[in-house]
C-alpha cells in the first residue's frame, strides 16, 4: 500500500511497481491517518512493515519562520510519524511481530546552518530519538524500529538545490565521496532493515550520506 496526497503520482508509482495499491491520503490530518490505517488493515489483514517516508520542508531563517509554518512541518514530519507508528504498532503488537522504518535525515544528526531549516531539522532530530524510544519500548514485544538518515538525494524537495550550480557545488564540496546520492543507493538500507537480515538491529539510525556525518 502506498499513501500520498496526489493521485496522479500514486497511479504512476503503481504502474512502475507492480502489485502496489495506491491510496490518496493527506497525512497532515489525524482522521485521514486513522482512515488509512483502518483501510490498510481491512484490505491486507495485517501489516509487517511500515515505512514512514512522508516529509515536507522549506528553507527559512529561524527569525522569519512563522508559527503556522513551523506547526505544519512538525505535523507531517513528526506527529504523523508517531501517530502512524502508534496506529500500526498496535496491530503489530497484537500479532507479536513487525518492523517500523522511519526516514529521518542527516539534518536530524547534524545542523545545516547554511541552508536554514529549523523546523525541518528539529522534526528530523525528533524522529531520531523517537525511533530509539519506540525501539526500546517494543523490543521485547517483537517489533523492530529503525531509521534511515539520507544525505543529499535528488527529490522534489531538493530539486531547487540541484537546479542551482552553487547548490550542486555545495553538495559536491561537502560530501566526502564528492557527489550526491542516487535513489537506488537507498534500496539496500531499506531492504536490510525491512528483512530478517536485521533481526538483531533495533534503535539504529543508518546514515546513507556519502560520509557527510562522518566529517
Q: What is the set of active-site residues?
A: 120
Residue pointed to by grid coordinates 507531517: 76
3-state secondary structure the chain: CEEECCHHHHHHHHHHCCCCCEEECCCCCHHHHHHHHHHHHHHHCCCCEEEECCCCCCCECCCCCCHHHHHHHHHHHHHHHHHHHHHHHHHHHHHCCEEEEEECCHHHCCCCCCCCEHHHHHHHHHHHHHHHHHHHHHHHHCEEEEEEEECCECCCCCHHHHHCHHHHHHHHHHCCCCCCECHHHHHHHHHHHHCHHHCCCCCCEEEECCCHHHC
Phi, psi angle pair for 5, to nearest 5°: -80, -35
Amino acid at each position: 500500500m502506498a499513501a500520498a496526497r496526489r493521485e496522479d503520482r500514486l497511479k504512476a508509482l503503481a504502474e512502475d511497481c507492480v502489485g502496489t495499491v495506491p491510496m490518496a491520503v493527506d497525512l497532515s490530518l489525524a482522521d485521514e491517518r486513522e482512515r488509512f490505517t483502518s483501510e490498510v488493515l481491512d484490505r491486507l489483514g495485517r501489516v509487517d512493515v511500515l515505512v514512514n517516508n512522508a516529509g515536507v520542508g522549506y528553507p527559512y531563517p529561524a527569525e522569519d519562520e512563522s508559527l503556522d509554518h513551523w506547526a505544519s512541518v512538525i505535523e507531517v514530519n513528526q506527529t504523523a510519524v508517531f501517530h502512524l507508528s502508534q496506529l500500526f504498532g498496535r496491530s503489530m503488537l497484537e500479532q507479536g511481530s513487525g518492523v517500523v522504518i522511519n526516514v529521518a535525515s542527516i539534518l536530524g544528526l547534524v545542523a545545516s546552518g547554511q541552508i536554514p531549516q529549523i523546523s525541518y531539522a528539529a522534526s528530523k532530530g525528533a524522529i531520531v530519538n523517537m525511533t530509539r524510544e519506540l525501539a526500546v519500548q517494543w523490543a521485547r514485544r517483537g517489533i523492530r524500529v529503525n531509521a534511515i538518515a539520507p544525505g543529499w538525494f535528488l527529490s522534489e524537495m531538493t530539486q531547487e538545490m540541484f537546479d542551482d550550480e552553487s547548490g550542486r557545488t555545495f553538495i559536491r564540496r561537502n560530501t566526502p565521496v564528492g557527489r550526491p546520492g542516487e535513489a537506488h543507493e537507498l534500496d539496500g538500507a531499506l531492504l536490510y532493515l525491512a528483512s530478517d537480515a536485521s533481526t538483531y538491529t533495533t534503535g539504529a539510525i543508518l546514515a546513507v550520506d556519502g560520509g557527510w556525518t562522518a566529517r
